[in-house]
Structure formats: structure tokens, C-alpha cells
Amino acid sequence: MKKLALLSFTAFIAFVFFAACQKETEDITKNESILKFTGVKPNIEDVNGTPFTIAGAGIYSNSLYLCLKYIGGNSKHEFIVAWDGIVQQTDSLKFIDLNVYHKNVEDVGTAEVYDSLMLNLKNLNISDELLNDKNLYFNIINSSNLSNVLFIQAYIPDGGGNPTNPNEFENINVEVVEQSECSNGIWSNLWLKDLSRDVYYSPKAVDSTITYMPALNDKLKISFERTWYSDSTYVCPSWQNKVVQVINIKTLEKQ
């Protein structure tokens, strides 16, 4: 009974948020914006000329739902969801990065618009088997502002409820390794290698309380949060044929 009540309450909150976002959009603009999918990153010159914010995201009636905020109101707007086909995995959790782009449009409107847009999950070209995986999460990434990232569970459990942050991991044993072609991490060309799996980590930042300076072959135990570089599709030679995750290190202990 408690599970049923929790599910009903969760669904009610999602519906209220969806309805509120949709209503505000209809009040401001009569131009119907659209949401499209692509497997190829758009030309950067064609997108993100107009700033936008991902105000909300979720799975609603077998569709990906996005609430998108921007300034305008006089023209139809087009948003693009891009997925490169890569499924990242950490422990038992799986992640798909969905990058959202705002196609350039001439809109002289000055209203604050909230567009409620939906995209059928089948349009994402994700297999039914993967969509039914209880450990699958979507990272909804604002391609123009990487501080605006929302994560949602792709699979909706029967019992409802809120999962803990799936981007945070604790007590992972790693070794410091060198990737000489890449020097865009906080430790330049030094990466970390997971000791239990064939996964590499490129540290983007470390907590201000950490004073450790890495040395090649050091063994460490870290806790971290997954993140992204400013260009989340950036690839250097050392990334080829490797599973590489960009991380912010929260805690670190030398073994």
C-alpha cells in the first residue's frame, strides 16, 4: 500500500510539473516548438546562439520529456537531442549521455518561455532490452552550459521512489597511469585506471581539501562524481578503443 501511494504521489508531482510547464508555454507563445533526435553532433555554428536552460526532464508516457526555458516567444524554436550510440558503464550502472542543442533562430521576442517538449523513446534508437534495464540512466546535458545537467532513470520502477545520485561513486580502487597524448586533465597527462575493470578515468577537478600530487603507478582509493569536459565529444588518440570517464574527485586515499 505504501509503495502504491508513493508511486501515485510521484506520478502526480510529475504530472503537475508537466502541466504547469506546458500551460506557461501556451500562455506566452502560439508558435509550436519541436524536439528532434540525431545520432550526429550538429554543426556548432548552427546551434546555441540563443541561451537556454533545461528546467526539467523525465520519462512521461514512454517519451523523453524536457522542459526548456529561453527568451523569445515570436518564433518557432527547434531543439535537438543527440546521442552518439555510446553506453557508459560504472559497476552495474549504465549511462547514456543525451546532449541537448538549441537550433539558431531569429526571435526578437523578450518573453521568458517555458517549452514542454516530448520525444518518443523509440526515436532515440535505443534497444528495448536496454530501455528495460533497471540500471540505465540518462544524463540530460545542456550542450551550451555544462553546469546544467539533469540525470533521470530511464527505467521507471513499479515502486516509484527517488534513487540516490547515480553519478557518484565511493571507494573505487585505481592506479595512476600515463596517457602521453592527452593533457587536458587537472593532472595533465596522468589518468587513473580502475583496478577491477577495464575503465580509465580522466580527472577534471579535485576537491580543494586534497593536496596529493600524483606519481606514476601510485595506488589510490577515490570517491568521485562523473562529469564532462566543455566539449563532451572531445577525443584524443588515447581515448580510442578505451572506456574513459571524466570525473571530479571528492576524496582520495593513497594505498
- Per-run averaged pLDDT (10 residues), the chain, 255 residues: 34 43 42 79 86 85 83 89 89 89 89 85 86 88 89 64 61 84 78 86 90 91 80 57 80 92
- Does residue 226 sit in helix, strand or coil? strand
Structural domains in the chain, sorted by start: 2-153 (2.60.40), 168-254 (2.40.50.500)
Residues 6+ apart with CB under 8 A from 56: 17, 21, 65, 66, 67, 150
Strand segments (E) across 181-242: 190-194, 199-206, 219-226
C-beta of residue 103 within 8 angstroms of C-beta of residue 42:
yes
Using a cut of 0.75, tell me whether the model's pTM lies above it: no
Dist CA 105 CA 80 (whole Å): 13
In tens, the pLDDT along 2-53 reads 333 333 333 333 444 444 454 443 333 345 688 888 888 888 889 888 889 9
